[in-house]
Amino acid sequence: MRSGAVERHTAPFQAAPFQPAPFQAASLPAARFPTARLLAARLHKAVRCKLATQDQLTRDPRAACAQRAGRDQITGLILCLCRDTRGQRDPELALPRYPGEGPRDLSKPLEQVRVLIDARTAGQRLDLALAAILTWRSRSSIVRMIDKGMVRLEGRLVPSSRKVKLGDTVEVDVPQDPVPQPKADVNFELPILFEDEYMIAVDKPAGMAVHPSGRHLHGTLIHELHRRYRRPEEPEHDVVPRLLHRIDLETSGVVAVGLDEQFHQLVRKQFEDRLVQKAYLAVVHGRPANDQGRIDFGICPDKQSAVRLKLTTCDPGLGQSAITHYRVVRSSPRFSLVEVKPETGRTHQIRVHMAGIGCPLVGDKLYGADEQLFLQGIAGELTAAGREALVLDRHALHSHSLTFYHPRRDREVTIEAPLPREFAELVP
């Protein structure tokens, strides 16, 4: 077994290797409380020698230590003063930076995991060392497992404060995480594309906001998911859905939502590091000059527009850098179905870039031929002629697929949403 690592399957996701920042073991300087530290060490040694049975440690090793040490407040104060208070996890170690270093599925009941202590974690407290290696688990959950007798150092039950040495073997019985239980009485009508105990992905319809904002304070996607999963009256089954990403109001397609806090953190990190592969399908006016290509125009505010939020393309050195890859799937006399893969995630990036190459999205009021249609739509004064010019009552953009590393399943996952019927009718 590789030193300092957990036995796991090899992930198919190819990414740069994880290079964690060096972990700095922290402790109070010995010169600060020399007498207290010496006394505490002697007391701790004496307490360990007097521990009677393994059952006491299994129930609560720290409580057992306290009972055997007596009820002397001075002793407790000395131990408190000498406790390591600065040993915190390095932020770079809190989450795997790249999915290829993600953990295997550890949600199975009492799955035994063997960890070998290496130079990076040697000399640290047991709970700190495990928190640096088992990054998908919080330090508090690790302490709870140690207290319940689910962690053994060289085959022995020890308290969280025990220092580990180079080459030590730690065995961990990983408990099962609670599985979210959807409410039986909730009529959830959104198409579910993927669901397990850690996440759900749905095919969001056009016109539904993903979360409350502006004029859309009710009936959002997150509202529907809260109705499905929230159970405040049953804390053991209460699940808080957390958005992993967002798409626009008029954009349809895949939206992924985390049901587990640690899973959410791990996958959000992939989104932030641009490790998630996104593919969109768009119906555009006309046909691009090339059947596939790369658009690298910068994106900046359109100062000539009457709409404050409107953006436009500019030279790559100006504005925000943005890169979009596209491929023509098929065409009709008037329209083209285009697969679009944004390399960056700028506001309105796909719509701005496709308009910048002369192929605006069908139904796009803001970036189409006439922005007055946008102003009329906001005012509720869109005419029949305007609707005919738009062709669709929404911009023709669909979140077709997401590909990411599932840190609990230890494999790459691709989630796809089918092509909307109105898109297929425009480009048969």
Using one digit for the tens of pLDDT, what is the confidence trace for 260-311? 888 998 999 899 888 999 999 999 999 999 999 999 999 999 988 888 889 9
Cα separation, 25 vs 185, whole angstroms: 51
The answer on 170 and 47 residing in a single domain is: yes
Q: Is 29 domain-assigned?
A: no
Identify which has the larger pLDDT, 49 or 172: 172
Question: Considering only 109-113, 238-242, 284-288, which range has the smallest mean pLDDT?
Answer: 109-113
Instruction: Report in angstroms the alpha-carbon separations of 181 from 198, 202, 204, 236, 390.
Output: 12, 17, 22, 10, 43
Catalytic residue set:
248
The answer on 143 and 215 residing in a single domain is: no
- Residue 379, number of CB atoms within 10 A of its CB: 8
- Average pLDDT value over all residues in the chain: 75
Question: The domain that contains 286 carries what CATH number?
Answer: 3.30.2350.10
Containing domain of residue 335, as a range?
192-426
Radius of gyration of the chain (CA): 28
The answer on 384 and 256 residing in a single domain is: yes
Of 142, 174, 206, which marks where a domain is finished?
Answer: 174
The answer on 322 and 381 residing in a single domain is: yes
Q: Is 15 domain-assigned?
A: no
Percent of the chain with pLDDT over 90: 37
Tell me what pLDDT residue 184 has.
65
Cα separation, 316 vs 323, whole angstroms: 10
Residues 6+ apart with CB under 8 A from 78: 36, 39, 40, 43
Report whether pLDDT(17) > 50: no
Tell me what pLDDT residue 294 has.
95
The answer on 199 and 160 residing in a single domain is: no
Q: Is 179 domain-assigned?
A: no
